[in-house]
Amino acid sequence: MATPGLLRIGISASVFHEDRSRTIFNGKPLYYVERGLARYVRSEDALAYLVPGTSTDDEADIYAADLDGLVLSGGVDVAPRHYGEAPQRPEWAGDAIRDRYELTLLRAMLDADKPVLGICRGHQLLNVELGGTLYQDVPTMVPGAIVHRDPDVYDGLAHPIDIEPGSSLSRIYGNLTRATVSSVHHQAIKRTGRGVVIEARAADGVIEAIRVDGPTWVRGVQWHPEWSDAGGPRILDPRPLYHAFLAACRTRRG
């Protein structure tokens, strides 16, 4: 039996779509969560729940009513069609099926005034839901772009960010205005959506952290706090951010 005081935190699922060339489960569709994210979510007074694809608004509303908060996970690109563009290359087409599932769940959580933390793709999806757009590829579309993704080192890649003084992110970290974070992405926020406030940027101007203006705790970070160990002690401590998220969940629970 679950301990009544533990928070119930949903994690949006990554998806392996049906693929008959894949031998595991005979190529059937799979929902999954990466282990580091599951460990991060359950590292404090919280239970982690993988939320499978929701097929209707009513089903998403049921999950939103039951959960105390939602972590939008990282993963495959957001489909450009969801922010009014066509993919400029076939490999940037994204996953429209996963988008629809996560956007339905996200809207239900926002309508229920439940806290949301978006990580990497989730950070981008928050912006898209609120009418913003993305750079489909940072290296070719952001002038003077620094390296944000290196397959050879993957989660070992890191770079500095500048945190807006006085921002909520800065306050979470004791008025910190500069930090080093992991970097595993090739897309990024381009035009911000309704109510989206920028809280941190990389040296090339890429948006690294956002909050959504309003009474509900809704934040996004472009980095992966759940993978901070890979970068060693120089990497921004992931715990204060998660503590702030859980504190908002506790306050919302009442």
**Catalytic site residues?**
120, 224, 226
φ/ψ (deg, to 5) at 16: -100, 110
Q: How far apart are CA 40 and CA 149, in angstroms?
A: 22
Type of residue numbered 83: Y
Q: Find, among 233, 245, 226, the residue nearest to 180 by Cα.
A: 233
Pairing of strands 134-135, 116-119: unpaired
| Sequence-distant (≥ 6) Cβ neighbours of residue 240 within 8 angstroms | 172, 173
Place of tokens 């994690």: 11
DSSP 141-171: HSTT------TTTGGG-EEEEEEPTTSHHHH
| Sequence-distant (≥ 6) Cβ neighbours of residue 161 within 8 angstroms | 178, 179, 180, 181, 200, 201, 202, 208, 209, 223
**Distance, CA of 127 to chain centre:** 10
